[in-house]
Amino acid sequence: MYTVSKRLEISASHRLALTYESPCGGLHGHNWTVTVFCRSRELDENGMVADFAAIKRAVHGALDHRNLNDVLPFNPTAENIAKWIVDTVPNCFKATVRESEGNEATYERD
């Protein structure tokens, strides 16, 4: 099994729809660190699991310098963003989304 990872930095804003009072309910931004993990039993015709540039286009291209509430069809928590990445990037089985020091979420496909 081959595994590759791609680390990205994304600057983006969001506001969370929460059932309780929180400063996160207001528009605010993060310098997110995202790590995308892809794997495959076989390499493609180029000898790759995934093209790093394609991963960057899919994630960074969609999210960087954006209001995540405007581009994602769900409450943009770190957990939901991690799942979106796994669902969006080919061969992706895990993604970690770090919104600030000590605060990160990981989604891993079963």
* pLDDT for 110 beyond 90: no
**What are the start-end ranges of the H helices in 7-91?**
52-63, 68-71, 78-88
The residues pairing with 6 across neighbouring beta strands, listed in sequence order, are 36
Average pLDDT over residues 65-83: 98
Classify strands 2-14 and 92-100 as parallel, antiparallel or unpaired: unpaired
Number of domains the chain is built from: 1
Burial class (CB in 10 A: 0-12, 13-18, 19+), 42: exposed
Residue carrying the six token digits 């993060």 = 30
10-67 per-position pLDDT tens digit:
999 999 999 999 999 999 999 999 999 999 999 999 999 999 999 999 999 999 999 9
51-66 per-position pLDDT tens digit:
999 999 999 999 999 9
Give the residue numbers spanning the domain of 23: 2-108
* Full-model pTM: 0.95
The CATH number of residue 78's host domain is: 3.30.479.10
- The token duo for 84 is 């979106």
